[in-house]
């Protein structure tokens, strides 16, 4: 009752001549009503992209024009300026009430550039890009552009229906993170400071992702940002797909084609902070509108401005933004950046929890899942804050997944150790399973781990060239076979030695070198084994999906474990050797009588290894070993990983056929 009375009171006081005439002339969805104003300030408006911004509409005579609406609560006056009026603020003044300014300009169509000329409370005139613009001119220029976002014809119904019918937690999730501007970028594009467009890169990227059996791509931020070196994490236009790579509908085409090929698309999204460039959101009308009003909280550790996430108008802006990308771009999920800096003031636990921001995260996830409960909401969170992936209804933040930053740091610290020191840090590997089921985790080797002097993934390992490559394959196998979903940054899959160079492309020339080509083949095969075996993902979030065989072998730096699917007969055995020593006739405990077939060995010469492998299926013998009732005797290669698939004993005829097949494959591989 209170909400209705308040809305009615606002409606009675709302007497704006321009808006009254607009209701008769243009599509009614453009008009910002009293109800809109109430939900906007409350933080529950979910479709601000239909109210604010520049909308191409038709009046009752069928003539196209553009309706503008912007929020500038502290402004004395606002005008629309652009290439259509010679940037003259005296020609198209807007009508404002309660901080919401609007104007309809007849006959003005898409393609024109514009900004808002805002007169501050003290009389200064400043120019700002439209926070809700759908498109912008290419940097270094900063104007917004009128663009009709409607009308793209999607053909991805099969993908959308399949996604909505799946249980995301019992499906494989292998994410390929990439920076679109530096995945492929030849010297000519570097020299001209330009990039391949969405259309130009689509064929190569989609085929590459399919060849490597990735299920999803994660695109580093693609909304408009002024500085290439920010990688998109410091935005000015949250509703505008970056013009660096083409028009918004070109990005829709790219995502549509990914979906047609069976590839999901995750968007890197930054609801915590934004850049302080003069034309952006910072001090939008001369005073704090989107950020906190006091500098101690407003300025982040990166020098950017922190969103005031307790403010209703900001919450509506960001939640509407996420829903906008879902509606108009069909994105399958969001990787939410810097969640630690949202949970705690300045990302510092000692400064305490930011309760307003925490409440925003809960509301954000609630609204997004109400729209589509199969969207992936992934928190990039380095804290130990509890229940990040628990439902809001039980006190959690409501995310689907959380990056396991603790696992990532411990694992990379371990791989950087010389093998003689690894026995003293065995817990770096084993500790991860102590908390593996406390959240729904993604195991990430992201862009943050291969920049700023941290070395590339392959170069982190000690030893000579061969040893580094062997440990790279070993490390990759450990990541792909442990409980948790997977994420790898581009160039990891070719064992690139250079750190990520955001101004240049991936070192594709390395694939002409046998060791890198072999490493890339291994990643392809490893990803395929992961994708095709339910034991690696069906019980990712259940204790039943993982069992240690030997967790205490620190002297040999050896780890062995079982991964299970729902079917108790469907399991694999994984053995990891982090020493440069091989073992033959090594006894390993196994849970069942039967055969154990080697489906992948990182040491095959096919992968540039020393070719110490297990050929024919290993038959289990009865006898206690590692606490198991049976054992097998196997070869374990140096710095090597072995994956064995269990099967019950087959009859002799089937065994002979499989032996012949294995012999044929080995002959072809050696050739």
* Catalytic residue IDs: 337, 380
Find the helix or strand (DSSP H, E) in which 547 lies: strand 546-550
CA dist list (Å): 345 to 243, 307, 404: 33, 12, 21
Q: Do 11 and 34 contact (CB within 8 A), yes or no?
A: yes
- The token pair at 15 is 């007497």
503: which residues sit within 8 A by CB, 6+ positions away?
Answer: 182, 190, 228
- The token pair at 545 is 């999906």
Residue of 274, 249, 252, 264 whose CA lies nearest to 332: 264
Rounded-to-integer distance, Cα 63 and Cα 525, Å: 58
Q: Do 588 and 562 contact (CB within 8 A), yes or no?
A: no
- The token pair at 566 is 């729902």
The SS3 call for residue 295 is helix
Rounded-to-integer distance, Cα 215 and Cα 400, Å: 17
- Phi, psi for residue 335 in degrees, rounded to 5: -95, 110
The SS3 call for residue 102 is strand
Residue of 147, 135, 130 whose CA lies nearest to 69: 130
Residue in this structure with the two tokens 């391949």, named with its chain if needed: 196
- The token pair at 637 is 């290669």
Q: In sequence order, what DSSP letters do the residues of 57-94 get, joined into one string?
A: EE-TTS-EEEEEEEE-TT-SEEEEEETTTTT-TTTSBP
Q: Do 271 and 317 contact (CB within 8 A), yes or no?
A: no
Strand order in the sheet with 100-106: 53-58, 64-71, 100-106, 95-97
Helix pair 248-260, 312-329: axis angle to 10 deg = 60
CA dist list (Å): 568 to 173, 316, 572, 647: 22, 48, 11, 11
Residue in this structure with the two tokens 């453009």, named with its chain if needed: 30
Q: Do 277 and 136 contact (CB within 8 A), yes or no?
A: no
- The token pair at 610 is 């020393």
- The token pair at 512 is 């002409």
Distance of CA 361 to the CA centre of its chain: 17
Residue in this structure with the two tokens 């020339």, named with its chain if needed: 509
Number of alpha carbons in the 13 Å side-chain half-sphere of residue 584: 4
663: which residues sit within 8 A by CB, 6+ positions away?
Answer: none
Residue of 226, 176, 179, 175 whose CA lies nearest to 500: 179
The SS3 call for residue 540 is coil
Residue of 494, 583, 485 whose CA lies nearest to 174: 485
CB count within 10 Å of CB 296 equals 9
CA-CA-CA-CA dihedral for 306, 311, 317, 318, to nearest 10: 60
664: which residues sit within 8 A by CB, 6+ positions away?
Answer: none
């Amino acid at each position: 009752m209170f909400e209705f009375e308040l809305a009615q009171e606002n409606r009675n006081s709302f007497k704006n001549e321009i808006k009254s005439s607009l209701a008769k002339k243009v599509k009614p969805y453009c008009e910002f009503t009293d109800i809109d104003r109430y939900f906007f300030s409350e933080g529950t408006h979910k479709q601000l992209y239909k109210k604010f911004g520049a909308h191409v509409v038709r009046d009752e005579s069928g003539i196209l024009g553009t309706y503008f609406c912007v929020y500038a609560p502290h402004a004395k006056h606002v005008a629309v300026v652009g290439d259509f009026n010679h940037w003259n603020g005296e020609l198209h003044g807007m009508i404002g009430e309660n901080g919401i300014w609007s104007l309809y300009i007849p006959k003005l169509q898409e393609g024109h550039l514009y900004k808002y000329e805002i007169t501050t409370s003290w009389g200064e005139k400043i120019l700002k890009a439209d926070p809700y613009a759908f498109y912008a001119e290419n940097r270094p220029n900063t104007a917004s552009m009128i663009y009709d976002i409607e009308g793209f014809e999607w053909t991805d119904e099969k993908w959308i229906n399949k996604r909505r019918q799946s249980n995301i937690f019992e499906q494989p999730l292998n994410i390929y993170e990439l920076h679109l501007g530096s995945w492929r970028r030849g010297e000519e594009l570097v020299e001209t400071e330009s990039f391949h467009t969405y259309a130009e890169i689509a064929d190569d990227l989609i085929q590459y992702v399919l060849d490597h059996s990735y299920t999803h791509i994660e695109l580093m931020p693609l909304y408009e940002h002024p500085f290439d070196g920010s990688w998109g994490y410091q935005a000015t236009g949250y509703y505008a797909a970056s013009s660096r790579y083409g028009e918004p509908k070109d990005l829709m085409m790219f995502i549509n084609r990914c979906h047609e090929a069976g590839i999901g698309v995750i968007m890197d999204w930054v609801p915590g902070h934004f850049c302080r460039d003069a034309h952006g959101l910072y001090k939008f009308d001369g005073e704090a509108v989107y950020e906190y009003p006091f500098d101690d909280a407003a300025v982040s550790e990166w020098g950017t401005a922190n969103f005031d996430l307790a403010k209703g108008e900001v919450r509506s802006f960001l939640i509407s933004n996420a829903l906008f990308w879902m509606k108009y771009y069909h994105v399958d999920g969001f990787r939410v950046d810097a969640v630690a800096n949202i949970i705690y003031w300045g990302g510092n636990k000692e400064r305490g929890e930011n309760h307003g921001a925490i409440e925003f995260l809960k509301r954000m996830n609630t609204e997004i899942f109400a729209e589509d409960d199969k969207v992936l909401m992934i928190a990039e969170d380095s804290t130990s804050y509890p229940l990040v992936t628990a439902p809001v209804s039980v006190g959690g933040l409501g995310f689907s997944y959380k990056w396991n930053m603790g696992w990532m740091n411990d694992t990379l610290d371990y791989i950087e150790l010389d093998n003689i020191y690894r026995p003293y840090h065995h817990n770096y590997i084993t500790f991860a399973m102590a908390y593996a089921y406390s959240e729904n985790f993604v195991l990430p080797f992201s862009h943050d781990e291969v920049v700023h002097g941290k070395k590339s993934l392959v170069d982190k390992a000690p030893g000579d060239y061969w040893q580094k490559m062997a440990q790279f394959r070993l490390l990759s196998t450990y990541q792909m076979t442990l409980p948790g979903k997977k994420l790898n940054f581009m160039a990891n899959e070719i064992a690139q030695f250079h750190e990520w160079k955001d101004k240049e492309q991936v070192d594709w020339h390395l694939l002409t070198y046998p060791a890198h080509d072999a490493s890339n083949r291994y990643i392809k095969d490893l990803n395929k084994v992961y994708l095709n075996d339910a034991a690696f993902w069906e019980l990712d979030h259940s204790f039943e999906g993982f069992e240690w065989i030997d967790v205490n072998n620190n002297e040999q730096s050896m780890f062995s474990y079982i991964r299970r699917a729902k079917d108790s007969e469907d399991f694999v055995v994984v053995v990891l050797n982090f020493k440069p020593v091989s073992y033959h006739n090594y006894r390993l405990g196994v849970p069942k009588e039967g055969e154990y077939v080697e489906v992948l060995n990182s040491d095959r010469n096919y992968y540039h290894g020393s070719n110490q492998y297990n050929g024919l299926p290993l038959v289990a013998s009865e006898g206690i070993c590692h606490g198991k009732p049976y054992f097998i005797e196997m070869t374990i290669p140096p710095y090597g990983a072995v994956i064995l698939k269990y099967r019950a004993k087959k009859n002799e005829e089937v065994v002979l056929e499989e032996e012949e097949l294995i012999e044929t494959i080995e002959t072809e591989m050696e050739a």
